[in-house]
A = this chain, B = another copy of it.
Amino acid sequence: MNANEKSLMEAKANILKALGHPTRLWMAEQLAGGEKCVCELAENIDADFSTISKHLTVLKQAGVVIDEKRGKQVFYRLKVPCILNLMPCIEAVLQATAQSHIELVMDGRRSFSENMVIMSNNQMEKNR
């Protein structure tokens, strides 16, 4: 890793780190649906206003969101909308982890696809 590569990694890691907190990730996902004022975001977060404000500052510094003051309120929106595109892959990792846990419990006696069949049968049971 040379010096240039290193600063590129630092820059990219900084963005990922900004998204790497449950509250901030939730905020980013909310903003994917359009701009929101701080008060709207705060309605659904159980934390001090100052905490919320600081999380938004982190996202802003990372370049993920931008803010705009209009009247008494401050509105935040995604600066680059593609943030939403990250989620499918993150969810795939989650899914893969869940699958390994299942296989652990199953003691590796059945294959992935066999498990899928079993799971979907269970689902049908429930829905009956």
Contact = CB atoms under 8 A, between A and B. Distances in A.
Interface residues of A, number: 44
> Within the oligomer, what is the number of copies of this chain?
2
Contacts of A24: 13
A89 B94 contact: no
Given A16-B20, A21-B13, A22-B6, A82 B87 contact: no
Contacts of A62: 93
A59 to B, nearest CB: 11
A21 B85 CA distance: 20
Interface string A11-55: 111111111111111100000000000000000111000000000
B89 A11 contact: no
22 contacts: A1-B44, A5-B26, A6-B22, A9-B22, A9-B23, A10-B22, A11-B94, A13-B20, A13-B22, A13-B24, A14-B20, A15-B94, A17-B20, A20-B20, A63-B93, A63-B96, A63-B97, A80-B92, A80-B93, A82-B89, A85-B85, A86-B86
